[in-house]
Amino acid sequence: MIPRYATPAMAAIWSDEARWNAALRVELAVLEAQAGTGEVPPDAVAVIRAKAKVDVARINELERTTDHDVVAFVNQLAESVGPEGRWIHRGLTSSDVVDTALALQIQSAAALIDEGLALLMRTIIRRAREERDTIMIGRTHGMHAEPTTMGAKMATWAFEVSRARERIATSAADAATGKISGPVGTYSQISPEVETIALEALGLRADQASTQIVQRDRHAAFVSSIAIAGGSLERIATEIRHLQRSEVDEMREPFRSGQAGSSAMPHKRNPIKSERIAGLARLLRGYAAAAMENQPLWHERDISHSSAERILLPDATSLLAFMVESLNGVIHGAEIRRERMVENFERGLGLHAASRLLTALVDRGAERTVAYAMVQGAAARAQEQATHLREVCRSTPEITAVLESATINSLFDERRATRNAGVLVDRLTHLG
């Protein structure tokens, strides 16, 4: 991932140093298991554990000759150990080490993402509680619909982030799968007992039936859960972008002193962070597609998945971590413009009460299709005449014949319309 969109913590997880140190953990776990089963001298394992060190520069140097990174890695370890190094990689194939080490990296990346999502969820919950009773117009198709509250809107964000956490945790747990079963996965040179002991020591599950690799449905599910989480962040970011439009202006991204919105137009205050999140979410969906393409490999294995994974796994996890951190900052410092929400309500000419007006007419005995036409006609006149719907209703004989003036007035009380909206915020207690 380019530095602009990489967090230092996630970059460290996917560094060459981290990758080969994870591979070293796998090699050592296998050696300890083989020592336990009597296949490798315990004294040799003790020497290897004490002396084996990863040297990325030397691995890269050896790979220029071997054109095989795992062979270069194994040879470099053997060099660092001495004579006992001959026991390293005994009975293993490259994917035993690579796929099992990858599972360790995925665990670390998923844990880091979860930390960020947990923080984002807490931030949203805090802001939702602050805005529990902040009334604003709800919109469908971009048009005024019925009143809602900012707290209710944010509650939907918090629950969606919670679901993203659950999906990623579930798929990451499934991807925390290794295999120590040798060439084509048949334990021809290594025993199932060694696999069990080694993977338990590493905190990983064993693939029930691997080929020469761990099958990529697990990885596809993990990256798909990341892409879905990205879509959730994009939904929130898109809402913020819409609410910051000049014609709406009900919510603004934080804007620090000295920040510039445009090189040409000094007045601009653009929702650039939310726009960036929307753009990066597109990449995540592309990575999910590539991860799915990695599933249908030839026979017991090929390596067409390898080149794609070296890019998509670090990039997908890095992007999501960056997007989560960025959105958390946006929501933490977002400016909620309550006075503008009131202004926009007034511009709506009371049309938000149309559905309640319809229900009231039906409740008083009007036939629904007739009542619908009455309200639709009154709403159209209100818009044409730029007159509040309440006044139009009062001057419409068909409506006043059914509803009293006091009843009509009560239908336009937005607080009555949102009296149950606080329930959505109260339910956030279940999330912590």
Q: Give the containing element (helix H, strand E) for 205.
A: strand 205-206
How far apart CA 383 and CA 388 sit, in angstroms, is 8
**Rounded Cα–Cα distance for residues 35 and 45 (Å):** 7
3-state helix, strand, coil in the chain (%, to 5): 70, 5, 25
Q: Is 352 a catalytic residue?
A: no
How many alpha carbons fall within 13 Å on the CB side of residue 62? 18
- The active-site residue out of 188, 262, 307, 405 is 262
Catalytic residue flag (residue 262): yes
Strand 177-178 and strand 335-336: pairing? unpaired
Contact 306, 219 (CB under 8 A): no
Amino acid in the structure at residue 193 = E
Q: Which of 68, 89, 94, 141 is labelled catalytic? A: 141
Q: Which residues contact 345 (CB under 8 A, 6 or more apart)?
A: 135, 136, 137, 147, 352, 414
Can you say how many angstroms the Cα of residue 231 is from the centroid of all Cα atoms in its chain?
7
> Which amino acids are annotated catalytic?
141, 262
